[in-house]
Amino acid sequence: MTVRILLFTCSLFCVIPVFAQMERTVYQHFEVDSAQSIALDIVGFTYPQLHVWAGNTILTEANIQVWDATPEVVQELIKTGRYAFEAEKTGDSLRIFTKVRKREDIKMFGMRTKCVEQTTVKIFIPDIYEWDPAEWAPDQTGQPKHLRRKQQ
């Protein structure tokens, strides 16, 4: 009986860190102004999806899922710009690109394996632009996409 009580007492003081899947969504928007062409140079996202809307900006919705990480780690990754996009305008062209081009593995202190990460991105573009559907095929992931303003 004393052995059971001793084992129970010891198990109360043994703390095993358990991490769950953390999920966050990050939004960014970019003004298109009078841009005639837009280059979307988005790398590092598993499933880029294109959606058309009646807005006058480009909206990106990055969904981040990280397994075996703490909420603080995921928040720090977002804060450092791991999933951020930047834009640069040259004449009548706009380029939107991934800020961090190569992502290092996420590894928690004291863990032997890396954290599993899955990132998806939805891009909402104004309905005044047209695109080539072949550029959005699954085998074109990681390749730049081009949008052109529709002729009126």
Residue-by-residue DSSP string for the chain: -HHHHHHHHHHHH--------EEEEEEEEEE-TT-SEEEEE--S-SEEEEEEES-SEEEEEEEEEEES--HHHHHHHHHTTTT-EEEEEETTEEEEEES-SSPPPP--TT-SSPPEEEEEEEEEEETTEEE-GGGGSGGGTTS-EEEEEPP-
Residue range 2-30: average pLDDT? 70
The average pLDDT across 10-35 equals 76
Confidence of residue 143 (pLDDT cuts 50, 70, 90): confident
pTM given for the model:
0.79
Residues 30-88 pLDDT 10s: 999 889 999 999 888 877 889 999 988 999 999 999 998 888 889 999 999 999 999 99
pLDDT band at 122 (very low <50, low <70, confident <90, very high): very high
